[in-house]
Amino acid sequence: MTNGRPALAATVLGILRTIAPEVEPGALDPARPLRHQVDLDSMDWLNFLVALHERLGVNIPEADYAQLVTLDKLLDYLLDRRVSRG
């Protein structure tokens, strides 16, 4: 498994591009709402979160979805969950 925020960001963006191949990672603002920048509908967003879980092994309960608004918040969340898993 990769370590560190840059490697995690690369993995997350790679997964995002499998859902939305038109995404240009360099054009994303990590502080703006991710779904709006990428124009993902609710099903694509759910597929993205499921793919993150499968690839990274991090459980993302539905109750936490509202926290994952920006790329920065998503990365913070994933880093925190990966560290606490050991």
Going by C-alpha positions, the residue among 47, 50, 56, 54 that lies closest to residue 75 is: 56
pTM of the model: 0.89
* Structural domain harbouring 80: 5-85
Would you say residue 14 has pLDDT above 50?
yes
User: How many domains in the chain?
Assistant: 1
| Confidence grade of residue 82 (pLDDT, cut at 50, 70, 90) | confident
CATH of the domain at 51: 1.10.1200.10
Q: For 1-13, write each residue's pLDDT tens digit.
A: 446 999 999 999 9
Cα-Cα end-to-end distance for the chain? 12
User: pLDDT at position 3, please?
Assistant: 64
